[in-house]
Amino acid sequence: MAIARFPSLVIDCPDASALATFYGTMLDWKVTTSPGWAEIRSEYGQCICFQQVEGYTAPQWPAQEIPQQMHLDVMVDELDAGEAAVLELGATKHEHQPGTSFRVFLDPAGHPFCLCVD
């Protein structure tokens, strides 16, 4: 029997509402915000939370002077279409692209995330 259940992942950021809106729009999940905190939730229950922190420092990937801290891998049907959509939402494509079945982007707070295909 498990000791605990995995309800969510919490991501530190400079603006919880803005980052929740970015990921909520990308994943088409419901966004809920309160001062300094926001959540996105899928219809099937998965949840990602965003915690606003003062003095936030964005990761500097692929260098590790300021580690990436975390990153999300999300699946898309087609990389080019996925890329265009996340760029329109405010993502930045990272100059370092180490693979061919995925692409690395930075969210508006500077966290790396990958669009992946099978």
Instruction: Please name the residues in contact with 33: beta carbons below 8 A apart, sequence gap of 6 or more.
Output: 16, 17, 20, 39
User: Hey, which bits of 1-118 come out as E strands?
Assistant: 9-13, 30-34, 37-41, 47-52, 72-75, 92-93, 102-106, 112-116
pTM comes to 0.84
- Tell me the pLDDT of the chain (118 aa) as tens digits: 866 577 689 999 999 999 999 999 999 999 999 999 999 999 998 999 999 999 999 998 888 888 877 788 899 999 999 999 999 999 999 999 998 999 999 999 999 999 999 7
Pairing status of strand 37-41 against strand 47-52:
antiparallel
Using DSSP's 3-state secondary structure scheme, residue 27 falls into: helix
> What are the structural domains, with CATH classification, of the chain?
9-55+66-116 (3.10.180.10)
In contact, 39 and 31? CB cutoff 8 Å = yes
Identity of residue 7: P
